[in-house]
C-alpha cells in the first residue's frame, strides 16, 4: 500500500507500555469468594465453621422446607429456579459453608489485656492448624488485626506475628489461602509500613517473597480521597495489596449519617464504592462490599424471613453494582447470601452463554441482539463468575456452559 511516513515506530511508547503493565496488570478471571465471614477471635475455634454451617442448614430446614417461598424472600430472579436454588444452598451449607474466613481481633473483638490477646492469637493459630490437618480450613482464611490509626501498631503486629508463627509451627508451613485484613487506613503511609512489616515476617518465617498479602478496608472519607489521587498506590506496595473491602458502618458514621441511614445501599456508600472501583480498575485488586449488621429478631419463621429478605436486598444491590463479594456476620446470612447469589447467576447464565456462542459463531443472538466486543467480554466474565459461584466448570476461552454443563466443585471435589 502507499505510505506517507517512512517509519511507524512511536518514540517513547515502549516505556509507556511498560508503565501501563506495571500500574494496570489487568489480572482477572481467578476465583473470588462470594463472602467473607467475620468471627471474633474469642469466639473462634476449630469447629466454628462447621457449627456455622450446621446452624445455617438448620435454619434452612426449619424456615424454608421447600422452594415456594424463595421468590418472595430472595427476589423474582429465584422464581424460575427456586427448587434448584434451595437444593444448591443445602448442599453448599453441608459441604462448604464458609468460603473466606476472617478471625477478628479488631472491632468485633475490642481492646483486651495484652496477655489475653496473646492467648487468643495462639489459640486461633492452633485452631487453624487443626482445621488444615482435618481438611476443613476454608479456601481463604486469615485474621483482621487492629488498626495503626488507633495508635498501637505494635499490638497489631504482635498479634499477627504470634498467630502466623503458631500456624506455621503447627502446620509445617503456612497453608494456602492466607490474607490479613488491615482496617481504618486513614493515612496512605500506613499501607507502605504494613507491607514492609509483612516482608519482614516473611523473612523471619522463611516464606517465599510475596506470600503474605493483605486487604485494606475503606472505612473513611480520607481513604477514599487518597485512593482517588494515588495512581501509583498499588504498584508501590509490591503486589501485596490483594483486595479492598468497604466498611459500611464506619464509613457512614464518619460521614455523619444518622443511625437509621447506616445502610449499604445509601447513596453515600454508592459513591465510595464507585471511587474504589475507578481508583483500582485494572490493578488486579479485588473489591468487596460490606455487611448487614443484623440477626433474626427471634427464632420465629416471620423474623427469620424478615432478616433473609433484608439481607437479600443488600446482596442484590451489591451484585447489580458489580460487587460480587460481601461480609457475612451471622450463620443466618449464609442462607440468604448463597440463595441470592445462586438466583442472580442462574437467571442469566443460559442466555449469556447463548450470546457468547452466537458471537463465536458470527451470528446474531436470539431476539436480534448484536453484541459489541466489550459486551461479549462482560458476558464471558459474568459466565466465569457464575461458574465459580455455582461450582460449574468453565472452559478456557469459552463460556464453559455448552450443552448445559454439569455441576462440579472446586473444593474437595464437592458438587454444588
The answer to whether 338 touches 89, Cβ cutoff 8 Å, is yes
Range list of H helices, 206-286: 221-228, 233-236, 248-254, 267-280
Task: Locate 66 and state its grid cell.
Answer: 421447600
Give, in order, the Cα–Cα distances in Å from 51 to each of 94, 175, 350. 11, 22, 35
Report pLDDT for 394.
Answer: 42
Report pLDDT for 104.
Answer: 98
Along the 416 residues of the chain, how does pLDDT read in single tens digits? 888 888 888 888 888 888 888 888 876 678 999 999 999 999 999 999 999 999 999 999 999 999 899 999 998 888 889 999 999 999 999 999 999 999 999 999 999 999 999 999 999 999 999 999 999 999 999 999 999 998 899 999 999 999 999 999 999 999 999 999 999 999 999 999 999 999 999 999 999 999 999 999 999 999 999 999 998 999 999 999 999 999 999 999 999 999 999 999 999 999 999 999 999 999 999 999 999 999 999 999 999 999 999 999 999 999 999 999 999 999 999 999 999 999 999 999 999 999 999 888 888 777 777 788 899 999 999 999 999 999 864 443 333 333 333 333 333 333 33
CA–CA gap between residue 215 and residue 195 (Å, rounded): 11
Q: For 128, phi and psi rounded to 5 degrees? A: -65, -45
CA 135 to chain centre: 21
CA–CA gap between residue 94 and residue 57 (Å, rounded): 7
Q: Which residues contact 163 (CB under 8 A, 6 or more apart)?
A: 103, 121, 122, 124, 125, 128, 143
**Three-class DSSP category at 167:** helix
Angle at 315 between CA 408 and CA 55, to 5 degrees: 65
First to last CA, the chain: 57
The answer to whether 52 touches 331, Cβ cutoff 8 Å, is yes
The answer to whether 304 touches 278, Cβ cutoff 8 Å, is no
Nearest to 27 by CA among 218, 284, 211: 284
All structural domains of the chain: 28-346 (3.20.20.60), 349-402 (no CATH)
CA–CA gap between residue 121 and residue 164 (Å, rounded): 9
CA 240 to chain centre: 16
The answer to whether 337 touches 308, Cβ cutoff 8 Å, is no
Angle at 160 between CA 158 and CA 165, to 5 degrees: 95
Nearest to 224 by CA among 254, 182, 193: 254
Per DSSP, the residues of 82-101 read HHHHHHHHHHHHHH-S-SEE
**Three-class DSSP category at 205:** helix
Residue 326's beta-bridge partner residues?
35
Report pLDDT for 116.
Answer: 98
- How many CB atoms within 10 Å of residue 363? 9
Range list of H helices, 206-330: 221-228, 233-236, 248-254, 267-280, 301-320
Report pLDDT for 392.
Answer: 61
Residue 178's beta-bridge partner residues?
141
The answer to whether 374 touches 346, Cβ cutoff 8 Å, is no
CA–CA gap between residue 137 and residue 102 (Å, rounded): 11
- How many CB atoms within 10 Å of residue 321? 15
Burial bucket for residue 234 (CB in 10 Å: 0-12, 13-18, 19+): buried
Amino acid at each position: 500500500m502507499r505510505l506517507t511516513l517512512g517509519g511507524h515506530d512511536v518514540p517513547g511508547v515502549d516505556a509507556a507500555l511498560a508503565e501501563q503493565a506495571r500500574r494496570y496488570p489487568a489480572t482477572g478471571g481467578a476465583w473470588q469468594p462470594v463472602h467473607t465471614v467475620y468471627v471474633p477471635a474469642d469466639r473462634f475455634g476449630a469447629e466454628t465453621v462447621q457449627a456455622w454451617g450446621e446452624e445455617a442448614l438448620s435454619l434452612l430446614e426449619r424456615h424454608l422446607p421447600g422452594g415456594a417461598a424463595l421468590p418472595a424472600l430472595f427476589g423474582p430472579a429465584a422464581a424460575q429456579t427456586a427448587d434448584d436454588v434451595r437444593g444448591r444452598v443445602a448442599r453448599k451449607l453441608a459441604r462448604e459453608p464458609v468460603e473466606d474466613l476472617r478471625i477478628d481481633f479488631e472491632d468485633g473483638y475490642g481492646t483486651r489485656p495484652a496477655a489475653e490477646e496473646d492467648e487468643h492469637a495462639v489459640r486461633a493459630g492452633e485452631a487453624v492448624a487443626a482445621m488444615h490437618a482435618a481438611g476443613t480450613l476454608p479456601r481463604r482464611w486469615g485474621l483482621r488485626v487492629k488498626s495503626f490509626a488507633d495508635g498501637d501498631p505494635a499490638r497489631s503486629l504482635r498479634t499477627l506475628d504470634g498467630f502466623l508463627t503458631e500456624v506455621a509451627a503447627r502446620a509445617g508451613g503456612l497453608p494456602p489461602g492466607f490474607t490479613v485484613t488491615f482496617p481504618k487506613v486513614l493515612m496512605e503511609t500506613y499501607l507502605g509500613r504494613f507491607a514492609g512489616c509483612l516482608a519482614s515476617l516473611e523473612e523471619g518465617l522463611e516464606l517465599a517473597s510475596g506470600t503474605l498479602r493483605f486487604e485494606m478496608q475503606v472505612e473513611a472519607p480520607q481513604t477514599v480521597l487518597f485512593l482517588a489521587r494515588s495512581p501509583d498506590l498499588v504498584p508501590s506496595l509490591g503486589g501485596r495489596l490483594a483486595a479492598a473491602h468497604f466498611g459500611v458502618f464506619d464509613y457512614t458514621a464518619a460521614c455523619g449519617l444518622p443511625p437509621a441511614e447506616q445502610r449499604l445501599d445509601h447513596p453515600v456508600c454508592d459513591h465510595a464504592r464507585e471511587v474504589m472501583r475507578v481508583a483500582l480498575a485494572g490493578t488486579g485488586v479485588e473489591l468487596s462490599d460490606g455487611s448487614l449488621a443484623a440477626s433474626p429478631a427471634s427464632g420465629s419463621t416471620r423474623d427469620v424471613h424478615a432478616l433473609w429478605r433484608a439481607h437479600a436486598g443488600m446482596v442484590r444491590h451489591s451484585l447489580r453494582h458489580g460487587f460480587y463479594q460481601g461480609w457475612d456476620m451471622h450463620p443466618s446470612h449464609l442462607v440468604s447470601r448463597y440463595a441470592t447469589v445462586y438466583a442472580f447467576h442462574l437467571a442469566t447464565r443460559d442466555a449469556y452463554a447463548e450470546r457468547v456462542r452466537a458471537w463465536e459463531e458470527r451470528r446474531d443472538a436470539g431476539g436480534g441482539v448484536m453484541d459489541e466486543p466489550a459486551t461479549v467480554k462482560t458476558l464471558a466474565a459474568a459466565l466465569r463468575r457464575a461458574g465459580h459461584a455455582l461450582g460449574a466448570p468453565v472452559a478456557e476461552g469459552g463460556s464453559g456452559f455448552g450443552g448445559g454443563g454439569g455441576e462440579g466443585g472446586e473444593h474437595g471435589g464437592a458438587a454444588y
